[in-house]
Structure 1
Amino acid sequence: MAQIEKNEVVEADRTAVARPASMARKQPMQQRARERLDKILSSASDLIARTGSDRLKMGELAERVGISIGSLYQYFPDKSAIIRSLAERYNLESRVCISNALDTVHDVEGLKSAYLDLIDQYYALFLSEPVMRDVWSGMQADKQLMALDLQESRLCATMLADAMKRAFGDIDRAEVEASALLIWQLGESTMRLAISLDRVEGDAMVEAFKRMTMRELLSMQAEC
């Protein structure tokens, strides 16, 4: 699949996710407005990384960006909308990573290689954007954002399930989807734990996750 086609598929998946009520109000069209939106989200990310999502204050964010609180509210009605927008950005980046890794899988050996490589790429993404852990924590405090997070996990798990089905062939789809969703949820939790530890221990957690989940994948191969 060409890169532009992958991006179109990922974008379609992104827009398919149900939107909770709390979201960005202003969709900027002009370059200056887009730059301001990017500055708001970048500043919010910095503040969340420093103090955590629960301590993010709209007034402090407006001051950091250099705009009035009223101008900030033109873009985002509340803190949940900011966390949602940050999550959507990271989710889109994650989905592109998953799509690139799994789209070419057609056999078991290809699945094993692509899966292990995907875990390494995903871990590198979390290491480069540790604020992803704090954004996730902020989503767990809001029921609508929790639902969004689960839908995102299902989308990612479906990509993994599709690759597993192509690799294993004649296997129960429901079983594959259940395993894929569990693997994905455990993987996200592992990444958030790993970046909370020192690098040596974090690396060990990721390697342990690889061994555990590879055993699950191979056990499914044995059932075919």
Structure 2
Amino acid sequence: MNGPKDKSRIEPRKEPKQKRSITRFHSILGSAESLIVEHGVVQMKMTDIAAHAGVPVGSVYQFFPEKAAILKALLDQRLVRLKQDIANGLTGIVDRDDARERVMTFIDHAADVHRTNAIYRELWAGMSLDPELRRVQFRAHEELGILALRFLEPFINHHESGCRESRFLLITMLTGSVLRCVAEGHDKAESLLAEWKLTMCEMLFPEESLKAA
């Protein structure tokens, strides 16, 4: 897959190092998140972020060249948390039954986070509008798939054909699609979530599928 043509437009112009800069950086991101939740990604403007954060608009541009860079920073924050949640949820698995239950529990947790935090709905929308952010999202799915495989590989079917990395990438992408439905409040989101949990376990632990609740 081709990389972004202009990576600089979705990356912070500089990383804050001093305490004051770090505080301002996070204040800007917090204001952006509040405005996104209240008005949506499309309506959010850099001038509005500056006014909400109580800083000159130049301070916003000092860190972020444009709105896409803010969206990526918000995504990066959540990606760090999600990776930690995966590590916490899948560390110390004892057997296949435990692995299956851990996966189901994690998906329920992720769904609840998307269901109760409007920022996820808007981030999904923002990612879909920008080609470079869609590439970032794809790479995030790759990273999450590799991380989940690291914990679950000892417990999945080792006689199946195919590339495990590709299978876990597919799982993370499909999980993301279902979670987007949950975040957007689609009428069939909950039934899709329940069906996906069963389908995913059939993919990972096929002999366990008959035990699915």
Same fold (TM over 0.5): yes
Unaligned runs of 5+ in 1: 1-18
What is the CA–CA distance in structure 1 between the aligned matches of 2:98 and 2:123, rounded to whole Å? 33
Deviation at 1:106? 4.9
Report Cα offsets for 1:162-218 as digits up to 9, x if no partner: 3332103634584322222222111111111112227x9644432222122222223
The one-letter code of the counterpart of 1:175 is C
Q: Is the 8 A contact 1:168 1:221 kept in 2?
A: no
Q: Report the TM-score, using the length of structure 1 for normalisation.
A: 0.80
Report Cα offsets for 1:16-46 as digits up to 9, x if no partner: xxx9322112322222222211111111011
Name the SS for the 2:205 alignment partner: helix
Which of 174, 183, 205 aligns to 2:192? It is: 205
What is the CA–CA distance in structure 2 between the aligned matches of 1:48 and 1:173, rounded to whole Å? 44
Q: Report the TM-score, using the length of structure 2 for normalisation.
A: 0.84
| Residue of structure 1 in register with 2:171 after alignment | 183
What is the CA–CA distance in structure 1 between the aligned matches of 2:110 and 2:208, rounded to whole Å? 24
| Residue of structure 1 in register with 2:206 after alignment | 219
Which of 13, 32, 46 aligns to 2:34? It is: 46
What is the CA–CA distance in structure 2 between the aligned matches of 1:159 and 1:104, rounded to whole Å? 14
Deviation at 1:65? 1.3
| Residue of structure 1 in register with 2:3 after alignment | none
- Percent of aligned positions that are identical: 24
Q: Is the 8 A contact 1:95 1:156 kept in 2?
A: yes
The answer to whether the aligner puts 1:89 opposite 2:66 as a matched pair is: no
Which of 148, 152, 157 aligns to 2:145? It is: 157
Q: Is the 8 A contact 1:165 1:173 kept in 2?
A: no
Aligned length: 203
Q: Is the 8 A contact 1:25 1:74 kept in 2?
A: yes
| Residue of structure 2 in register with 1:35 after alignment | 23
Q: Is the 8 A contact 2:201 2:208 kept in 1?
A: no
The one-letter code of the counterpart of 1:147 is R
- Taking the TM superposition and a 5 Å limit, the aligned residue runs for 1:1-224 are 20-22=7-9, 23-168=11-156, 170-171=158-159, 174-197=162-185, 202-219=189-206
What is the CA–CA distance in structure 2 between the aligned matches of 1:207 and 1:33, rounded to whole Å? 44
Unaligned runs of 5+ in 2: 1-5
Name the SS for the 2:13 alignment partner: coil
What is the CA–CA distance in structure 1 between the aligned matches of 2:81 and 2:43, rounded to whole Å? 25
Report Cα offsets for 1:116-169 as digits up to 9, x if no partner: 111122122223432122113212222222111111101111122233321036
Report Cα offsets for 1:97-132 as digits up to 9, x if no partner: 111112323531121011011112212222343212
What is the CA–CA distance in structure 2 between the aligned matches of 1:129 and 1:171, rounded to whole Å? 40
Deviation at 1:220? 7.2
Name the SS for the 1:88 alignment partner: helix
